[in-house]
Amino acid sequence: MRTSYSYLAFALAAAMVLPAPAFAQNGQSPAPQTKPAAAQPFDAHDLSGVYVLRQKAGFALSNDVPPMTPWAQAKYNSNKPGIGPRAQPLGNDPMMICDPVGYPRILLYNAYPSEIVQIPGRIIQFFDYFNAHRIIWTDGRQLPKDPDPWYYGHAVGHWDGDTLVVDSTGYDDRSWLDADGHPHSDEAVLQERYHRTDKDTVEINMTFTDPKAFTKPWVSETKILKRAPAKTEIREDLCVTSDEEAYKDEMRAPAATSTK
């Protein structure tokens, strides 16, 4: 897949920002002062923007994984590297045959930006990774009672003060929860809480409940969405089956072949 590096400008800018001098040198007029993001006005109920995710837990909900049930442990073991087809790099990761990444895994892949768009009655999340989207309904509807399983689930949201609360269910159990291969069932329920703390920052806290897969809810660390640089675009980062087949034949399969 072709890769654009425009999103890296955000990380570089964040690492290289220096305090602005109060006055320009050589007796020139004072340099204009820029208020920090926390001091700039913002609407706490407007999450729109293009963001890059920051987190400590790699590509997982958190590093504190709850105990798995025997059903989930067996599925997880079959996904681990070195077992069966997973002897190849990323051997049985569903995305390597162009299956949809699923949610929340697609949100947790923080190498690519995502975008939030709010319109009356719904919020749409667009993901650069795999060029996918997800709809959160905010028109007062309830979650469906017996939903068809979808890779990105069925989601509804409401405001609790300045926090957007999103409840979702109906997830297709063929997807992985994270890059490590943790499984989930089609009975999984996810709650997300989005709270905008300043002009450029949104905090996310997530609770994943799936009694068939985990013995207790999996509570995430607080994740941070930071606004991406201006003019950052969501690319057409599509998974093309013919490209993946060529990559498997030319790279993955030879990498798994012993050189002895």
CATH number, domain with residue 129: 2.40.128.20
- Per the CB < 8 A criterion, the answer to whether 167 and 190 are in contact is yes
pLDDT tops 80 at residue 144? yes
- The count of domains in the chain is 1
5 found inside a domain: no
Which structure tokens are listed for 106? 């697609």
**Residue 74: per-residue pLDDT:** 93
44 found inside a domain: yes
**Residue 10: per-residue pLDDT:** 38
Distance CA 88, CA 244 (A): 14
**Residue 241: per-residue pLDDT:** 80
**Residue 93: per-residue pLDDT:** 86
244 found inside a domain: yes
130 found inside a domain: yes
What are the pLDDT digits (tens) for 79-131? Answer: 875 555 444 545 588 888 889 999 999 999 988 999 999 999 999 999 999 99
**Residue 249: per-residue pLDDT:** 67
125 found inside a domain: yes
Mean pLDDT of all residues in 173-198? 95
11 found inside a domain: no
Mean pLDDT of all residues in 146-160? 97
Mean pLDDT of all residues in 142-170? 97
**Residue 57: per-residue pLDDT:** 86
Mean pLDDT of all residues in 12-30? 41
**Residue 14: per-residue pLDDT:** 38
User: 6-10, 41-45, 75-79: which range is least confident on average?
Assistant: 6-10
200 found inside a domain: yes
pLDDT tops 70 at residue 2? no
169 found inside a domain: yes
- Structural domain containing residue 218: 36-255
